[in-house]
Chains A and B, each alone.
Chain A
Amino acid sequence: MDFELMFNSFPKLLGATVITLKLLSVSLIAGLFIGLLFAILRLNKNIFINKFAYGYSYVFRGTPLLVQIFIIYFGLGQIEYLRSTFLWIILKEPYWCAIIAFALNTGAYTSEILRSAFQTIKPGIVEAGKSLGISNKIIFYKIQIPIAIRQSLPAYGNEIILMMKGTSLASTVTLMDLTGVAKYIISTTFKPIEVFIVAGGIYLFMTFCIHNLIKLLEKKYSF
């Protein structure tokens, strides 16, 4: 055991954690909107809209995240037309490519979580709202969404942890996140176990925090 290396690599790894957290938070916020949008599309009665939303979540849940990042980072740059538009400013940055891939991926999972949460809401609750003369819009925003959020919290907590682990893939497109820096230190010092303990410890600590945060929220929103 090389404790000196563990001690020295800790600040470096902690610095890289900031990038991991940035990637995680931005993609989660974007993914939440995408997920909500597609969950609503899934509940639509129109068969084409429905099938489109289903196809989206099927494709993104059926393929590895690594493929999705590579398609967006290496693949999209190949299209000549894209290179001439303003989108290229975003797509040439590995940081934004990673975020787009993460957001689309977590969006697919989130849409499934939210959809099943909406479907478990008893029709009686919506009917009660209607009989009180509340408009459909307010029923949706003030009754259905809060209940759906409560229902989906445990599953969404798992999704946040999965996504946190997913951000490690950003290191494959040259981003120096926690895993990227850990790999760099391992490959220069050839001390995998020490670095794994420190980096894994940081990841475990984040998992622990997310887990407890979700538990707290569950308590707050329980009824």
Chain B
Amino acid sequence: MELLAFGDTGWGDELFIATLMTVAVSITAIIIGFLFAIVFTPLKLSKNKFFNFIGNSYTTVIRGVPELLVIYLFFFGGSGAIMYVASIFGYNDYIEINAFVTGSFAIGIISGAYSTEVFRGAVQSIDIGQSEAAKVLGLSKFTQFYKIIFPQVLRLAIPNLSNVWQITLKDTSLISVTGLVEIMRQSYVAAGSTRDPLFFYSFAAILYLILTFLSMKLINKLEIKFSRGY
């Protein structure tokens, strides 16, 4: 137990901060994922073949390639790509992107592919009569989507989005390979310096279990809130 003491003698405070880091990366990643989903869901639903192709390629490639490979691509290729873009604008110094940004972007793109699929399914399962009725009532296109379709999509999507959240939360463990100090990385450091990997990795597993358990409770509450009126 003294291994987990707060302060200089134990790893308690370090692991606590690392847990906050995991939560921060997960939240950033899932928000980035939602942004991707907002762009790619309309593309996937579009009747235009070209847009459709772009949307389908995104979800197929990301969901068919291991997360670790995507992370390596961003880790090794991220700053190169940014520097290339910067050089077009005449900036030639070395740019290093921080591990948090790379990590949450990589995980965000992965989680975006899953969110896109969830939103696509939810939009498709809404009866066409809903938007027809809204049209008949003379609502503008924006109001149709924002007030009629979107609330229903949200209600249908939340149970599946909770799966996406769990996947995202677990995927953040992979960005420990880039050196970002989240739960896995901190446990690795602690295990290395105390020579007690069994204890620290088991403790990391417990931390992840607590996180998944708490988020399930929270999501269940959200689900109740969004399914009111049905």
Q: Which residues in A have some Cβ–Cβ distance to B below 8 Å?
A: 58-59, 62-68, 70-71, 74-79, 161, 164-169, 171-172, 179, 182-183, 186-187, 190, 192-193, 196, 199-200, 203-204, 207-208
A57 to B: closest C-beta gap in Å: 12
Q: Which residues of B contact A78 (CB under 8 A)?
A: 195-198
| 10 A–B contacts from the bound complex (CB under 8 Å) | A63-B170, A70-B201, A70-B204, A74-B201, A165-B66, A167-B66, A186-B76, A192-B73, A193-B73, A196-B72
Look across to chain B and name the residue whose beta carbon is closest to the beta carbon of A211: B64
Shortest beta-carbon distance from A168 to chain B in Å: 3
Q: Please provide the chain B residues from 149 to 200 with a CB less than 8 Å away from any CB of chain A in the complex.
A: 166, 170-171, 173-174, 176-177, 184, 187-188, 191, 195-198
B-chain residues with CB within 8 Å of residue A59 when the two chains form the complex: 205, 209
Is A168 a contact partner of B69 (Cβ separation < 8 A)? yes
Given known contacts A66-B174, A78-B198, A192 and B64 CB-to-CB distance under 8 angstroms? no
A contact residues around B65 at 8 Å (CB): 165, 200, 203-204
CA distance A62 to B205 in the complex (A): 8
Cβ-defined contact, B197 with A192, below 8 A: no
Q: Report yes or no: B68 in contact with A204, Cβ–Cβ below 8 A.
A: no
Whole-angstrom distance between the Cβ of A54 and the nearest chain B Cβ: 14
Q: What is the CB-to-nearest-CB distance from B56 to chain A, in angstroms, rounded to a whole number?
A: 13
Q: Which residues of A contact B209 (CB under 8 A)?
A: 58-59, 62-63
- Residues of chain B with a CB closer than 8 A to A169's CB: 68, 174
Checking A65, A75, A171, A187 against B76 with a beta-carbon cut-off of 8 angstroms, the contacting residue is A187
Q: Are A207 and B73 touching (Cβ within 8 A)?
A: no
Pair count A-B, CB < 8 A: 114
Q: Contact between A67 and B204 (Cβ–Cβ < 8 Å)? A: yes
- Do A168 and B67 touch across chains, with their CB atoms under 8 A apart? yes
Whether the pair A203, B77 counts as a contact (CB closer than 8 A) is no
Q: A71-B202, A182-B69 are known contacts. Are A200 and B61 too (CB-CB below 8 A)?
A: yes
Asked if residues B208 and A196 are in contact (CB atoms below 8 Å), the reply is no
A161 → chain B closest CB, angstroms: 7
B173 contact set on A, CB distance < 8 A: 64, 66-67
Q: Are A62 and B64 in contact (CB under 8 A)?
A: no
B80 within 8 A of A: yes
- Let me know if B73 and A196 touch, CB within 8 A: yes
Besides the contacts A63-B205, A186-B72, what 15 more A-B pairs have beta carbons closer than 8 Å? Answer: A63-B209, A64-B174, A64-B184, A66-B173, A70-B188, A71-B197, A75-B197, A75-B202, A169-B68, A179-B66, A182-B69, A182-B72, A187-B76, A190-B76, A203-B64
Q: Is B91 an interface residue (CB 8 A)?
A: no
Q: Which residues of A contact B170 (CB under 8 A)?
A: 63-65
Q: Is the CB of A66 within 8 A of B205?
A: no
B201, A204: Cβ atoms closer than 8 Å: no
**Contact between A161 and B64 (Cβ–Cβ < 8 Å)?**
yes
Once A62-B213, A66-B173, A192-B80 are accepted as A-B contacts, the answer to whether A179 and B205 lie under 8 Å apart by CB is no
- Least CB distance, B102 to chain A, in whole angstroms: 12
- Provided the pairs A192-B73, A193-B73 are in contact, do residues A67 and B176 lie with their beta carbons within 8 angstroms? no
Q: Are B201 and A71 in contact (CB under 8 A)?
A: yes
B68 touches A179 (CB 8 A): yes
Does residue B220 face the partner (Cβ distance < 8 Å to A)? no
Contact A71 B69 (CB under 8 A): no
Q: Count chain A CB atoms within 10 A of each CB in B66, B76, B174, B198 and give the residue with the most.
A: B66
The 3 closest A-B pairs by CB, nearest first: A168-B66, A75-B198, A192-B77
